[in-house]
Amino acid sequence: MRLAESLPIGARTAPSRVMFGPHVTNLGDDDRSFTDRHVAYYERRARGGAGIIVTEGAGVHASDWPYERAPLAERCAEGWHNIATACHAHGALVIASLDHAGGQGSSAYSQSPLWAPSRVPEVNTREVPKWMEDADIAAVIDGFGRAARLAVESGLDGVEINAGQHSLVRQFMSGLTNHRGDRWGADRLEFARAVIRAVRDAAGSAIVGLRLSCDELAPWAGITPEMAPGIAADMCSLGVDYVVVVRGAIFSAEKTRPDFHEPTGFNIDVCRAVRAAVGASTAVFLQGSVVDVGQAEWAVEDGVCDGVEMTRAQIADAELIAKVRRGDADRVRPCIRCNQTCQVRDARNPIVSCVGDPSSGHETRDPRWEAPAPTSRRVLVVGAGPAGLEASRVAAARGHDVTVVDTDSPGGLASVAGPGGPLVDWLVRECEALGVSIRAGVEPDEWSRLAPSHDVVIQATGSRRGIADYTIGDGAIVYDVADIRRGRVALPDSGDVAVLDPIGGPIGVAFAEELGARAVLVTPDNIAGNELSRTGDLAPANVRLAQKGVHIERRSVVRAVEKNGDGLIVRLQDRFSGEVRTITVSAVVDAGFRLPTEPLPVDRALSAGDCVAPRTLYEAVLEGRRAAVKIS
Amino acid sequence: MAYKYLWTPLQLGPVATRNRIVFSAHLTNFAREGLPTEQHAAYYAARAAGGAGLIITEEHSTHPTDWPYEKLIHGFHRDVIPGYKRITDAVHRHRVPIFAQINHNGGQASSMFSRLPVWAPSPVADPLFREVPKAVTHAEIDEIVAGYATVAEHCAEGGFDGIELQCSHSSIVRGFLSPATNKRTDEYGGSLANRARLLLEIVAAVRGVIGNRLALGVRLCGDELIENGSTIEEAVEVSRLVEASGHVDYINTSIGVATASLFMIEASMHIPPGYALFIPSAIRKAVDLPVVGVGRFKDPLQAERALAEGHCDLVGVVRGQIADPDFAAKARAGATDEIRLCLSCNQECVGRMGLNRWLGCIENPRTGREHEWAVTDHVALTAKPKDVMVVGAGPAGLQAAIAAARRGHRVTVYEKENVAGGQVRWAASVPNRAEFGDMIRNQLNECRRLGVAIEFGTGVWPGLVEEKRPDHVIVATGAEPQRPWWVSDPDADESARRVVDVRAILDGSAPLGGPQSGDSVVVVDEIGFHHATSVAELLADRGCAVEIATPGMVVGQDLGITLDMENWWIRASAKGIVQSTDLVPMGFANGELTLLHHPTGANQTRRPDWVVLAVPPSPVEWLYNDLKSLGVSVERVGDCVAPRRAHAAVVDGERAGSSI
């Protein structure tokens, strides 16, 4: 495959055309340096065949401290060196991303004003930056040069200038954020040119890359796809060895690396145009929800780009290219673009990870799950949801003889609700490939007969419906969202449907979205989908709900559901005013908290996932692994 | 008023306190990698040096399943002991006892950091973390109890004088005590005696390991302020059980549940001081143990009165000592006016905790930075005193003046108005926000003490600088209201004269509202803090029909950070204030305001009598630019750099003033 072929970039050659792009990991140290956890994280992707690893963005000047664990270039020499040494052993090129977040940063950590071209408030924090004085501009340009020199001296193969999301360079380029009357505003590209010149000069023969927002999704003043090829050509004429085509700006921070609600490969058209506009000596990389090997291969084959950034895909499967090379492309663990644990630009500093591979980001701490077990055991896994399937997969990989049973078809709740479908499909395929016996439609009395003939039983029986904390009147029916998703019950064909969502999570919101104008989404919060902020889908979800005409009952506690003729009334109480109001609907669906299923009547059964406590895919997969390695 | 009780000693088991002022437990986010730090030691030591009677540290976690926020001290690791010693040594140097609070947060947590199931009595999801916990088995309950004992041993080894069990607002013990979260049917659920079983097991186990060398306290919640939660009657009963155990030396109190009703635990200035005193008062009537009262104790006289009236035996003063570490010493010396009064604004102390940032104080730039100040101590006077001109007596200018004068410079502040305070003055002029103005009172007191001269009614222009010839100028000219692009020119469109900034409401220059005026007002909120909401309230109180429109997803989104959101909603609902979201102002002309509902792209219009703008102001930077181009030694601070919040002004001022 073309993806696995080498790619010359500048004076060097990447062993494959797949990039592991720069992203926030929160693996950094308090002193803003890289750590051993970073080294292990990147090395694992290099070992797995990544051609180019671009390290987490490092601020080029002390005025930039956008998140607590953001690396600062002047403190990165040792970390860069260690990462380069570890990754070079596998042939990968290692590039430092050089950043300044400008007005999109935060003053929380530096306790100093933000620097930006003009006084445009940051969209989410509404913080107003200081417009940069000439001395400030000179200091940042100088900082880019110094950082580039340090990166190359530390043994890296080059640097990448961030003019994509969260970047001062882009803020200078854009009419959205650069309203200056001086020379930096008269020609908005001038700052970027000065930065590239400084970096090119400092980098010597090393690689200089540019991450460029080619669509700010704000055509009234921003960079548009029509402008982007010209800008890219202008920048590349200054000696840029590669360009990564990205999109997004201040009003669209979540659109740069969006979740599964956006299509894959959304930058393909503009990337093709940029490829056509820049010289052959500049390699062009496609970015933008490319998580599928087939799409990536096609993009290279079709001349969209020379290489592809597949960051999340390699967080999900660190061996992506290695599998491609050995002809196992269909065995790559899919990235489902859920953004649940890899999107960590979050003040709480969560560690980057993956619902499919929870050991991503925890390379130095988690065990080698698939190491062979000393003794092969006969293992019965009860429940073929993600927890049971992962337990089965890992147990089989360790050499155990595994049977997994379920009353239903495999996949559990994850196969019918949320974006986990492709992951459970992969788990089923992997289990099959590893010789796990998967038996669907096995009733409890049957598996309890099976248990005694096994050495170990792992319970992964999932969750059951929660207990309503509101009253349900005589004759009134409240559906469980899981029953509807599984097709066990059907909604009436017409009439409004109340969706009770005390969680504010993806399941209730998605259900309301599908119902569209029929849905009345009931939330205790001021905003629908409160828990979606982690994935970046909070604002987009609310836009979708509004566009689909979903009615939202905010700040509402559900008090009662009562029968009303052929329909139902739902009594709601306002959390703050105490006012009680009713809504009239044809059906009510509860998407609230669930309960664990009862423990199996088996001594010393191991357990994993929702039957321990109903949570998410991440915990199910992690606990499935943990159960598998506990088999002794 | 003479103090009769506040300065009297008190015995808590084996520990004597020299007075009744407690620096009670509170989160700081100073821990690193689960360990206590030098930042902790210096922070607590400063309050000990400042005269506190007793210090109780933030919580130490008793088990690996308990890791609700990143910067929690993992007391269950022996590695904490050297850090404990550093803290206790630093505090004992000032002969003040220090207790460690130990805790397991139970279901009030997520698995984000621990990667382990959250433990709780029953699988009832917490309203904040929204993760269903695992109902603990009996073996796990034994593990919890053992964890408390282990951590108590670590604390004893680390030199603490006592242990406090946090069983109050965020704890697995509270989880068991509360009928809202304990749905068990075994001997740990049901009757109060059953629900209190875990508490009493922990009390016995901890006493078992600490013997009689250390004091043991229990902190109880007097009212959870949640549906089906426990209330004062049960808290009194639990106090009796605790006392009857014979193992406990004192009872501390609190109100609310940290993940449900936090706004009543660390109440902002909208809640009256002393609001939680009914709790210690009721408990003290039922038990003989000393009882600690808490809840917005702002000044020593108020503390004295609570003791005199018999509500409690000790008074928890947390924010008061965050703002001024010398709170007790100044009160004791009779210098009550010199105390830097806490504003209860919650912006940089409480507000930062949920944001995973180290604790600070809006008006005290040294809070949380005591470990750095210890190195370059503020009493270090400059060898070369300079004449410093500060332009503007808002929070930035005053802080610059304070910091410069402290170093021994000769400072004169020039203020064009006849009063100090800048925008703080207006911010404090609205209902229930008066305490915000204490910031300026405190700064002026400090200026007076340091001999800073203030020239009121004196604007500064380059000519004056030339005449006065200061060695250095600090420009703190603030920011002025700005008319956004979308408002028509009032010279061409008379209706645009009824589009005014919030400041025009506060300074009275816009004549709207008043009895029977019936004015309808749309307040446009692009800032998302108190600006829009407080003016909306003021106008609603004056009889206006008020709507707030914001491009954001909620009005006043940052009110959540300072715990003002819940009470804002309660008041706004009562006052009939309409809150409209996702609306971007696109134009105002001929009396009509056009708002774009950005999710759907649909335009809406309003024809209010007035439009009030809560939008970012524009920095007043001409003086700085002029002086800079004249080659004057000049620096600028506060809103004239970029309009931000008061703390940024104070930090800028401190930095500029102390680095001359």
The CATH number for B626's domain is: 3.40.50.720
Are B117 and A121 a contacting pair at CB < 8 A? no
CATH code of the domain in which A426 resides: 3.40.50.720
Q: Is there a contact between B54 and B314 (Cβ–Cβ < 8 Å)?
A: yes
What is the C-alpha separation between A74 and A203, in angstroms, rounded? 15
Closest to B553 (Cβ–Cβ): which among A109, A129, A539?
A539
- Range of weakest confidence among A187-191, B2-6, B462-466: B2-6
CATH code of the domain in which B566 resides: 3.50.50.60
- Domain residues for the domain of B469 are 387-480+619-658
Closest-CA residue of A relative to B134 is A613
Residue A260 to residues A257, A291, B266, B315, Cα–Cα distance (Å): 10, 11, 40, 54
**CA of B373, closest CA in chain A: separation in Å?**
16
Give me the amino acid identity at B542.
R
CB hemisphere CA count around A506 (13 angstroms): 21
What is the structure's pLDDT at A603? 83
* Same-domain status, A562 and A432: no
* Same-domain status, A143 and A278: yes
Interface residue A251 vs chain B (CB under 8 A): no
Are A531 and B130 a contacting pair at CB < 8 A? yes
Closest to B569 (Cβ–Cβ): which among A538, A576, A595?
A576
* Same-domain status, A201 and A73: yes
* Same-domain status, B75 and B171: yes
Find chain A residues with C-beta within 8 A of B130's C-beta.
Answer: 503-505, 531, 593
HEC profile for B347-368?
A: CCCHHHHCCCCCCCCCCCCCCC
* Same-domain status, B153 and B169: yes
* Same-domain status, B525 and B405: no
* Same-domain status, B595 and B623: no
**Is A41 a domain residue?**
yes
**Is A180 a domain residue?**
yes
**CA of B644, closest CA in chain A: separation in Å?**
7
What is the structure's pLDDT at A469? 94
What is the structure's pLDDT at B377? 52
A287: phi then psi, degrees, rounded to nearest 5: -125, 165
Q: Is the pLDDT of residue B5 over 70?
A: yes
What is the structure's pLDDT at B379? 59
* Same-domain status, B510 and B409: no
* Same-domain status, B84 and B195: yes
Interface residue A121 vs chain B (CB under 8 A): yes
Closest-CA residue of A relative to B553 is A527
**Is B340 a domain residue?**
no
**Is B339 a domain residue?**
no
Q: Is there a contact between B494 and B655 (Cβ–Cβ < 8 Å)?
A: no
User: Residue B439 in 3-state DSSP?
Assistant: helix
pLDDT class of A604 with cuts at 50, 70, 90: confident
In a mutagenesis test of the B interface, which of A35, A348, A551 is the best target, namely the one with the most B β-carbons within 10 Å? A348
Closest residue by Cα to residue B314 from B6, B73, B20, B3: B20
* Same-domain status, B566 and B626: no
Q: Is the pLDDT of residue B514 over 80?
A: no
**Is A372 a domain residue?**
no
* Same-domain status, B102 and B160: yes
Tokens matching residue B635: 């620096």
Helix axes A617-630, A386-397, angle to 10 degrees: 30
% of chain B exceeding 90 in pLDDT? 96
Closest-CA residue of B relative to A526 is B554
**Is B345 a domain residue?**
no
Find chain B residues with C-beta within 8 A of A108's C-beta.
Answer: 355, 357
In a mutagenesis test of the A interface, which of B129, B132, B364, B526 is the best target, namely the one with the most A β-carbons within 10 Å? B132
**Is B392 a domain residue?**
yes
- Neighbour tally for B450: CB within 10 Å: 17
Are B133 and A613 a contacting pair at CB < 8 A? yes
What is the structure's pLDDT at A448? 84
* Same-domain status, A279 and A190: yes
Tokens matching residue A612: 């321990």
A331, A366, A395 - which closes a domain: A331
Chain position carrying tokens 């970046």: A536
Residue B85 to residues A14, B38, B52, B73, Cα–Cα distance (Å): 53, 11, 19, 14
CATH code of the domain in which A205 resides: 3.20.20.70
Are B554 and A542 a contacting pair at CB < 8 A? no
Q: Is the pLDDT of residue A359 over 70?
A: yes
What is the C-alpha separation between A40 and A45, in angstroms, rounded? 9
Closest-CA residue of A relative to B352 is A108
Are A111 and B355 a contacting pair at CB < 8 A? no
No. of H helices and E strands in chain B?
22, 27
**Is B374 a domain residue?**
no
* Same-domain status, A79 and A33: yes
Q: Is the pLDDT of residue B376 over 60?
A: no
**Is B371 a domain residue?**
no
The set of residues, in sequence order, having a beta carbon less than 8 Å from that of A290 and lying 6+ positions away, is A264, A265, A296, A299, A308, A309, A310, A313
Are A347 and B115 a contacting pair at CB < 8 A? no
Q: What is the pLDDT of residues A510-568, one digit of tens each?
A: 999 999 999 999 999 999 999 999 999 999 999 999 999 999 999 999 999 999 999 99
Q: Is the pLDDT of residue B374 over 70?
A: no
What is the structure's pLDDT at B380? 73
**Is B567 a domain residue?**
yes
* Same-domain status, A164 and A68: yes
Average pLDDT over residues A175-182: 97
* Same-domain status, B558 and B642: no
CATH code of the domain in which A584 resides: 3.50.50.60
Interface residue B416 vs chain A (CB under 8 A): no
Closest to A576 (Cβ–Cβ): which among B132, B528, B573?
B573
Q: Is the pLDDT of residue A430 over 90?
A: yes
* Same-domain status, A292 and A315: yes
What is the structure's pLDDT at A177? 98
What is the structure's pLDDT at B511? 82
How many domains does one find in chain B? 3
**Is A373 a domain residue?**
no
Closest to A619 (Cβ–Cβ): which among B111, B127, B618?
B111
* Dihedral angle sign, alpha carbons of residues A186, A63, A135, B635: positive
Q: Is the pLDDT of residue B515 over 70?
A: no
Interface residue B574 vs chain A (CB under 8 A): yes
Q: Is the pLDDT of residue B291 over 90?
A: yes
* Dihedral angle sign, alpha carbons of residues A335, A340, A346, A349: negative
Taking CB atoms and an 8 Å cut-off, how many pairs form between chains A and B? 112
Are B641 and A576 a contacting pair at CB < 8 A? no
Q: Is the pLDDT of residue B516 over 80?
A: no
* Same-domain status, A324 and A453: no
**CA of A619, closest CA in chain B: separation in Å?**
7
Closest to A613 (Cβ–Cβ): which among B123, B355, B599?
B123
**Is A336 a domain residue?**
no
Q: Is the pTM of this model over 0.80?
A: yes
Interface residue B528 vs chain A (CB under 8 A): yes
Closest residue by Cα to residue A455 from A380, A404, A392, A370: A380
**Is A68 a domain residue?**
yes
- Domain residues for the domain of A405 are 378-464+597-630
How many domains does one find in chain A? 3
Interface residue B125 vs chain A (CB under 8 A): yes
Closest-CA residue of B relative to A618 is B115
* Same-domain status, B87 and B106: yes
CA angle A429, A433, A439 (to 5 degrees): 65
What is the structure's pLDDT at A445? 85
* Same-domain status, A27 and A73: yes
* Same-domain status, A582 and A613: no
**Is B342 a domain residue?**
no
Closest to B570 (Cβ–Cβ): which among A129, A543, A576?
A576
Find chain A residues with C-beta within 8 A of B574's C-beta.
Answer: 577
Are A113 and B526 a contacting pair at CB < 8 A? no
| Beta-sheet strands, E only, within B346-448 | 387-391, 410-415
Q: What is the pLDDT of residues B85-99, one digit of tens each?
A: 999 999 999 999 999
* Same-domain status, A172 and A291: yes
Tokens matching residue B658: 């102390």
Are B355 and A108 a contacting pair at CB < 8 A? yes
Q: What is the pLDDT of residues A276-305, one digit of tens each?
A: 999 999 999 999 999 999 999 999 999 999
Round the average pLDDT of chain B to a whole number and report it: 96
**CA of A87, closest CA in chain B: separation in Å?**
27
What is the C-alpha separation between A248 and A105, in angstroms, rounded? 15
Are B648 and A505 a contacting pair at CB < 8 A? no
Average pLDDT over residues B455-469: 97
User: Residue B459 in 3-state DSSP?
Assistant: coil
* Same-domain status, B281 and B405: no
* Same-domain status, A69 and A184: yes
A273: phi then psi, degrees, rounded to nearest 5: -65, -40
* Same-domain status, B123 and B255: yes
Q: What is the pLDDT of residues A304-323, one digit of tens each?
A: 999 999 999 999 999 999 99
The set of residues, in sequence order, having a beta carbon less than 8 Å from that of B108 and lying 6+ positions away, is B68, B126, B128, B129, B170, B171, B175, B257, B258, B259
Average pLDDT over residues A439-461: 92
- Neighbour tally for A477: CB within 10 Å: 11
**CA of A76, closest CA in chain B: separation in Å?**
20
Interface residue A575 vs chain B (CB under 8 A): yes
pLDDT class of A346 with cuts at 50, 70, 90: very high
In a mutagenesis test of the B interface, which of A35, A118, A126 is the best target, namely the one with the most B β-carbons within 10 Å? A126
**Is A350 a domain residue?**
no
CATH code of the domain in which B48 resides: 3.20.20.70
Find chain B residues with C-beta within 8 A of A594's C-beta.
Answer: 132
Largest CA distance in chain B: 84
Find chain B residues with C-beta within 8 A of A119's C-beta.
Answer: 616, 618-619, 642
Q: Is the pLDDT of residue B607 over 90?
A: yes
Interface residue A489 vs chain B (CB under 8 A): no
Average pLDDT over residues B630-654: 97
Closest to A127 (Cβ–Cβ): which among B70, B572, B644?
B644
Q: What is the pLDDT of residues A123-165, one digit of tens each?
A: 888 999 999 999 999 999 999 999 999 999 999 999 999 999 9
